[in-house]
């Protein structure tokens, strides 16, 4: 499979505060992520992992540098264009699933598709396929409160990729799970990435899971470095 550059960060800077209270989190960070690649972001708390993910996901603007997604420079775009790219090109998974409790698993996965304009019938069909792929097709009619932690997170992953994004950003997606369940959820996530060819950047403190990814990067002195 030919690999294309999906995400590129060039000289990205992010600062908080000003004057004597200025805190520089990212200092000219460079990073490239290709299609079909799973990269672990492993760094101590407070070094900028979440900031990097927010900037890569167009949730925050950098103070300097450039974010490019599928060849499109994003930082000069108006908010509505950034929102469109976020909706169509990027999927997000967090430590806590953030599923809507009043809707079933399949309805949670249908939601972003219908917001994007897909007819209900087609959205339901794709949601069902994703649930089957995540090996929880039999749990589609259940609400989040009726699912185990691992099942909830697999629904969250399915929802994140429902609109067929090219980029998946995950912030401690297995951090709230026991080791056995975390491994099982990562198996499903990895299989999905390999099959679809999307690019995935996963922040994790789990060194065992990080070791299973294509490469590992960390943040040191405000820059992204391989290790």
pLDDT digits (tens, 9 = 90+) for 35-93: 999 999 998 888 899 999 999 999 999 999 999 999 999 988 999 999 999 989 999 99
Domain boundaries in the chain? Answer: 5-226
Range 5-226 has CATH code 3.40.50.1000 = no
Q: What is the pLDDT of residue 224?
A: 96
pLDDT digits (tens, 9 = 90+) for 162-173: 999 999 999 988
For the beta carbon of residue 114, count every other beta carbon within 10 angstroms: 16
pLDDT digits (tens, 9 = 90+) for 172-209: 888 888 888 888 888 888 888 888 889 999 999 889 89
């Amino acid at each position: 499979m030919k690999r294309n550059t999906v995400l590129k960060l060039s000289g990205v800077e992010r600062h908080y505060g000003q004057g004597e209270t200025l805190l520089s989190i990212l200092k000219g960070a460079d990073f490239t992520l290709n299609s079909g690649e799973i990269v672990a972001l492993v760094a101590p708390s407070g070094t900028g992992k979440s900031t990097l993910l927010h900037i890569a996901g167009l949730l925050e603007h950098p103070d300097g540098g450039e974010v490019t997604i599928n060849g499109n420079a994003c930082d000069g775009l108006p908010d509505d264009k950034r929102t469109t790219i976020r909706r169509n090109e990027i999927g997000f998974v967090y430590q806590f699933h953030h599923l809507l409790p009043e809707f079933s698993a399949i309805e949670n996965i249908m939601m972003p598709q219908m917001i994007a304009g897909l007819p209900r019938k087609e959205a339901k069909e794709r949601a069902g396929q994703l649930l089957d792929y995540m090996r929880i097709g039999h749990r589609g009619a259940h609400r989040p409160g009726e699912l185990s932690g691992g099942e909830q997170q697999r629904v969250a992953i399915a929802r994140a990729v429902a609109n067929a994004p090219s980029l998946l950003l995950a912030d401690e997606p297995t951090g709230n799970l026991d080791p056995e369940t975390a491994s099982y959820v990562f198996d499903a996530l990895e299989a999905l990435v390999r099959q679809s060819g999307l690019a995935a950047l996963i922040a994790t403190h789990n060194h065992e899971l990080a070791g299973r990814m294509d490469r590992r990067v960390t943040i040191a002195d405000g820059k992204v470095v391989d290790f």
